Amino acid sequence: MVTRGLTRLLEDYLAHLSVERGVSAHTSAAYRRDLTRYLSYLTAAGHSDITAVDTGGVEQYVEVLRLGSDGGRPLSAASTSRAVVAVRGLHRFAVQEGHREDDPAAGVRPPAGTKRLPKAISVEEVERLLEAASASEGPAGLRDRALLELLYSTGARISEAVTLAVDDLDLDAPEPVVRLFGKGRRVRVVPVGSHATRAVGAYLVRARPSLAARGRGGAVLFLGQRGAPLSRQSAWAVLQASAQRAGLDAHVSPHTLRHSFATHLLAGGADVRVVQELLGHASVTTTQIYTHVTVQTLREVYATSHPRAQG
């Protein structure tokens, strides 16, 4: 049973959160649940008040939460992180109220959550998606195919693609390129593949003039049905409609073609720093999240190529 001293500390802290910090009733209830479990853990460990708790005890509690070894429900990394925030707040309050001079929880960090890996689709699925983009009749079909081809060919973000001007493209060069304006208006020059070059060229000649005549799209490359610049939401709708026609709607997001671009380059042997430059990442660490996808490929190559890999 939780001691009177620990119970009083908890009630004082919750009152502090409600009155002085103005937290909502929902947040206060969540703190109460998390801290009631923590105080039960302290009591089971033989602590009758907050003064005897050390850093090792708080760190051990993080493991208890993840494993459920106190008889409670094992928590995910995200839920454990929330509980650790509550525990650190309680200890900080104990120091502020003069219950102890040091804070054993100050250096305790929540567990690192599992990094959400980018979703990529296979080369065959990309081809199905691009073919499906051509299904619309008239100028829209040419525009949609050009948009998705360019996204996959360059790894551009949708926001970068819809703000492109016609003059940002140089498709007549021996090696066609496009200037992309990324985060912080950083400019990068990215090669454009032959399939995308043909698709964008067809759109410029056979579709964009008629779209431009309907409105005031100015120099923007991709235009909507009324001649205005294609919005990010409309570009997203193009992707979703094409994915649905291709039977891929369950796992296609706005970043799918960008993720697939990076994954397929790395799987094909591209250097991670080259992919970093193409994606416009400020740090190679950001790009390295894609390398997990190529591990199986590396294993297969090793197994079939190394003279002593098998047998």
264 flagged as catalytic: no
Nearest C-alpha neighbor of 76 from the set 58, 119, 68:
68
d(CA 196, CA 254): 18
* Residue of 157, 208, 259, 264 with catalytic role: 157
CB 252, CB 133: distance < 8 Å:
no
* Residue of 128, 255, 259, 264 with catalytic role: 255
115 flagged as catalytic: no
Check whether 181 has a pLDDT greater than 60: yes
pLDDT for 13: 93
Full-model pTM: 0.60
pLDDT for 306: 64
d(CA 187, CA 106): 42
| Per-residue model confidence as pLDDT tens digits over 93-113 | 999 999 999 999 998 887 765
Helix segments in the chain, DSSP class H: 4-19, 25-44, 55-67, 77-96, 123-133, 139-154, 158-162, 194-206, 208-212, 232-245, 256-267, 272-279, 284-287, 295-305
119 flagged as catalytic: no
157 flagged as catalytic: yes
pLDDT for 291: 67
Q: Which residues of 192-207 are buried (b: 16+ CB within 10 A; e: fewer)?
A: beeebbebbebbbeeb
What domains lie within the chain, and their CATH numbers?
4-96 (1.10.150), 123-301 (1.10.443.10)
pLDDT for 98: 93
| Per-residue model confidence as pLDDT tens digits over 47-89 | 888 988 999 999 999 989 988 888 888 888 888 888 999 999 9
* Residue of 8, 119, 183, 273 with catalytic role: 183
| Per-residue model confidence as pLDDT tens digits over 235-249 | 999 999 999 999 986
Check whether 4 has a pLDDT greater than 70: yes
pLDDT for 116: 59
281 flagged as catalytic: yes
Nearest C-alpha neighbor of 211 from the set 221, 200, 199:
221
Q: State the average pLDDT over residues 28-55.
A: 91
* Residue of 128, 258, 259, 264 with catalytic role: 258
109 flagged as catalytic: no
